[in-house]
Structure 1
Amino acid sequence: MEQNWFFPPHKGIRLGDLANQIGTELSDGAVADRAIHSVAPVYRAKPGDICYMLSRKYRAELETCQASAIICDKTIAPLVPPHIPILLTGRPHTAFALAGTLLHEVAMRPSRNTSLVGVSPAAFVDPSARLEEGVEVEPMAVIGAGAEIGSGTRIAAGAVIGPGVRIGRDCTIAAGVSVLCALVGNNVIIHPGARIGQDGFGYAPGPKGGMIKIVQVGRVIIQDHVEIGANTTIDRGTMDDTVIGEGTKIDNLVQVGHNVRIGRYCGIVSQVGIAGSTRIGDGVMIGGGSGVNGHITVGDGVQIAAMSGVASDVPAGERYGGIPARPMRDFLRDVAEMALRASDRQKKKGGTNE
């Protein structure tokens, strides 16, 4: 791959220092002064790069690897060529993630769109809004009446922060985002095009067969260290609040309905839809393309497989999959039975043709 000017290499971190900071053990102390500048995949890593390897099935990629070091566990270490130092750890994926934050800090959140620092004269900030020192507001952004924004937060180009919204410190609100009727904590990242705090979807039957809109007067509360992906929508509550718990990470193109409460440290993958008034516990993982019914409870630590349809409550700690979602062992058994039946039908069809 040609040089990437969007994310230029780091000026250099000593390999020994990097090993200590990410909690790994360097196999060869003689190379502790080697400079590490960037991350790269194993197959094309070159001097100055660091890479990681999780599985033996990728060992062929080591044939072309020229990395200055590779992060791996003790099961992979014997496969690594002797010219490549090893950073040994029981958690190579985590260690590599930490290395990336050190080497490419600028890539950790949406970057500035202009070189201007401070409040752009091309932005509109209502006179009644309160911005702490160190807030950045890029051109064409709008800060509504009575909004409050904490120090270190950046509001990117074209973003709209509605009246009365509160945003904490050290947040990044990317280009084209709208945040309405919301309270946002500290160190929150909201990626481009996300919509926070618009109407929830609520209607009652009308007298002549139509639908009457139900008023939506709740809020969205986003706790600290949440990350929300591009073009995700989070509806405000009807009368209660929609809540996103601390440390939760939400991918692109996710729909969170009104009054949903998502716990702490959850992971919700792209194209998930969560219907209104659902309660999701702490540490829940929901695979891409899944749908979660409204007015149900998903317990702490639950894992939902991709493309599942969750129709009813899921007990804490369970792994569910399928449509309708059911315990993973039942889902896999059903899949195996269907595959066997399909195979039997194909064999019978072939026998008839003979």
Structure 2
Amino acid sequence: MVDSRFFPRHSGVSISELADAIGARQSEPASNSTIISGAASLSTASVGDVSAIGSDTHPDLLSATRASAVICPDRFRVHVPSGCSALIADDVPAAFALAAALLYPDALRPVPPMGVKGISPEAAIDPQAHLEQEVTVEAGSVIGADARLGAGTIVGSGSVVGPGCCVGKNCYIGSGVSVQNALIGNGVILHCGARIGHGGLSGGQSGSGGNSIVQIGRVIVQDNVEIGANTTVERGTLDDTVVGEGTRIDSLVRIGQNVRVGRLCTIVGQAGISGNVSIGDRVVIGGNTGVGSHLNIGDEAMIASMSTVAGDVPAGARWSGNPAGPARA
């Protein structure tokens, strides 16, 4: 259920306004005046809520819902109960995502734990750091020499932005995040515990044991990237590690040194990307997938969860398995 302590209900929008915002078609224009102020699952929804039917939802669950509106494909219209407005959408998940974003805008961007704007007197900020207007740095955070924070950026409690690092405008750095040897673009979200720009395992074996190679590259995170909790992005060895614009990386993902992730990619939780991998634009990598080093993954490729990638993946390919290969139709 949605707990209003954490995510307060919206003041309300009419069903017609909601339909326009999400690009849905109304089944009952007479219901225009009904006010929608929240979102919920079919089984927990009540008056004032909008819900949605999933691809595997049984029609009986839809018929029993108490929601005021349901986003659904046209074929499910007949199962929508009386008093509930059907909002017909071709892409139900996308339409529901738009509705939820409209009703709970604060849930799209994390809220710092102290909830206070400005610089905490308990933050440690080097005199040579450069902070633009309306920056928030919470208690226990450390900002190093020559670090730069753009206007509107928030640094949650207990985080570290290392010397020389640059963080763009309107970024959110969650609690317990470390940013080292990195340049961060605008509108970036780093969730709690993310580790950006640390060194990783590199080098080879000799008779005396492992030999570490100095890592003197950077991490470049482009605009509007989101990186999940406890995800690690290692700095490059000689070249940079790059995460492209608009990419979303889930929690507990490992990005190795010198990896280049393209634009608008999605990498799901517990995936591991070995060093020196090149990933194209709009690639999707499923959870618990491992990608070997020195590989290329082409634009718009999709790799299923729990796959092991040991060879180059062509652009547009659909791969799965261990070792991964073309998925069966």
Would you say the 8 A contact 2:180–2:196 is kept in 1?
A: yes
**Identity of counterpart residues, as a percentage?**
48
Aligned partner of 1:193: which letter? G
Equivalent pairs counted in the alignment come to 329
Measure the CA separation in 1 of the matches of 2:60 and 2:251.
Answer: 33
1:227-266 alignment, distance < 5 Å:
227-266=226-265
Aligned partners of 2:296 and 2:313 also within 8 Å: yes
Q: Distance in 2 between matches of 1:211 and 1:225?
A: 38
SS at match of 2:74: coil
Deviation of 1:149 after TM superposition, in Å, equals 0.9
**CA distance, structure 1, for counterparts of residue 76 and residue 246 of structure 2:** 31
Q: Which amino acid aligns with 1:27?
A: S
- Superposition map of 1:142-181 within 5 A: 142-181=142-181
| CA offsets 1:282-338 (integer angstroms, 9 cap, x no match) | 111111111000001011111111111100101111111111111112xx8xxxxxx
CA distance in structure 1 between the aligned counterparts of 2:153 and 2:273, rounded to whole angstroms: 29
Change (3 A) 1:263 1:93: same
Structure 1 residues 10 and 133, CA gap change in structure 2 (3 angstroms): same
Q: Which of these two proteins has the greater Rg computed from alpha carbons?
A: 1
Paired amino acid for 1:229 = G
Find the residue that maps to 2:97 and give its secondary structure.
Answer: helix
Residue by residue over 1:104-146, the C-alpha shift from the partner in whole angstroms, topping out at 9 and shown as x without a partner, is 1111122121132111111111111111101111111111110
User: 2-side partners of 1:86 and 1:2: how far apart?
Assistant: 22
Residue aligning to 2:296 = 297
Counterpart Cα distance in 2 of 1:223 and 1:89: 33
For 2:72, the equivalent position in structure 1 comes to 72
Separation in 1, partners of 2:184, 2:77? 44
| 5+ long unaligned stretches in structure 2 | none
The alignment partner of 2:70 has SS state of strand
Instruction: Give, in whole Å, the separation in 2 of the partners of 1:326 and 1:269.
Output: 19
Answer yes or no: is the 8 Å Cα contact 2:220–2:240 preserved in 1. yes
Note the 1:206-217 alignment, pairs <5 A.
Answer: 206=206, 208-217=207-216
Deviates more, 1:212-221 or 1:103-112: 103-112
| 1:50 alignment partner in structure 2 | 50
2:326 and 2:143 mapped to 1: Cα distance? 47
Alignment of 1:73-112 (within 5 A): 73-112=73-112
Distance in 1 between residues matched to 2:170 and 2:233, nearest whole Å: 21
Does 1:315 pair with 2:314?
A: yes
- Give yes or no for contact 1:259–1:278 (8 Å, CA) kept in 2: yes
| Cα contact 2:71–2:88 (8 A) shared by 1 | yes
Indicate the RMSD between aligned Cα atoms, in angstroms: 1.4
- Residues 75 and 148 (structure 1 numbering): CA distance in 2 closer, same or farther, change over 3 Å? same
Contact 1:55–1:76, Cα closer than 8 Å, also in 2: no
Deviation larger for 253-262 or 24-33: 24-33
Between 1:8-17 and 1:117-126, the stretch displaced more is 8-17
Q: Which amino acid aligns with 1:163?
A: P
Structure 2-normalised TM-score?
A: 0.96
User: Structure 1 residues 103 and 57 mapped into 2: Cα distance closer, same or farther (>3 Å)?
Assistant: closer
Counterpart of 2:106, as a letter, is V
Helix, strand or coil at the partner of 2:66: coil
Once the two structures are TM-superposed, the CA of residue 154 in structure 1 deviates from its matched residue by 0.6
Call closer, same or farther: CA 1:241–1:3 in 2, change over 3 Å: closer
Which SS does the other structure have where 2:75 is aligned?
coil
Higher strand share: 2
- Give the Cα–Cα distance (whole angstroms) in 2 for the partners of residues 2 and 325 of structure 1: 39
- Please state how far the C-alpha of 1:54 moved relative to its aligned partner: 3.0
Map of 2:129 onto structure 1: 129
